[in-house]
Structure 1
Amino acid sequence: MSSTDAADDRGTRPDPTGGCPVQRVAMISVHTSPLEQPGQGDAGGMNVYVLESARELGRRGIEVEIFTRRTTAAQPDLVEAAPGVRVRFVDAGPYEGLGKDDLPGQLCAFTAGVMRVLAGLPEGYFDLVHSHYWLSGQVAWLVADRWRLPIVHSMHTMARVKNAQLAADDSPEPPGREIGEEQVVRAASWLVANTASERRELIELYAADPDRVHVVSPGVDLATFTPGDRAAARAELGLGDDEDVLLFVGRIQPLKGPDVLVRAAARLRAARPDRRLVVAVLGAPSGSGLRHPTWLSDLVSELGLDEVVRLLPPVDRPTLAQWYRAADLLAVPSFSESFGLVAVEAAGCATPTVAARVGGLPTAVGDGGVLVDGHDPRVWAETLGALLDDPEARRELGERALRHAQDFGWDRTADQLLELYRTACRQGEQAPHDQPLAGVPTAVIP
Structure 2
Amino acid sequence: MKKHFLSFITGLFVLVIASCSKSDTAEPSTAGTGTVEPTPTNPSNGGITDPVFSKEVTGSAFAACVDDNKNIFVLGYFGPQYQTKFKIYKLTPNGAIDKSFDIDKDKTWSDNLPSRISMIALPQGKVLISGSFKVDGVSKFLIRLNADGSIDKSYTPTTRITSVNTLVKLTGGRIAVLGRNTFANGFGEAHFFSLNELGEYDRNNGFRIQDDNTVLLDLIESKSGKIYLSGFFRLSAGKSTTYSIARFNPADLTIDESFAQVQDYRSLGQNAIELNGSIIKMVEQSDGKIIIGGSFDKFYIPNTRDNITNYHQVARVNTDGSIDATFKNNNNYTSDLSALVGTSSDQLLLGRHLSLTASQGERYLELLDKNGNISPTFKLGMEGTSIAGIVRQDNNNFIVFGAFGYDNNPALYRVKL
* Fold conserved between structures, TM > 0.5: no
Q: Give the TM-score band, short-chain normalised.
A: under 0.3
Structure possessing the higher radius of gyration over alpha carbons = 1
Q: Which structure has the highest strand share of the two? A: 2
TM-score (norm 2): 0.27
TM-score (norm 1): 0.26
Relative contact order (C-alpha < 8 Å, sep 6+): which is higher? 1
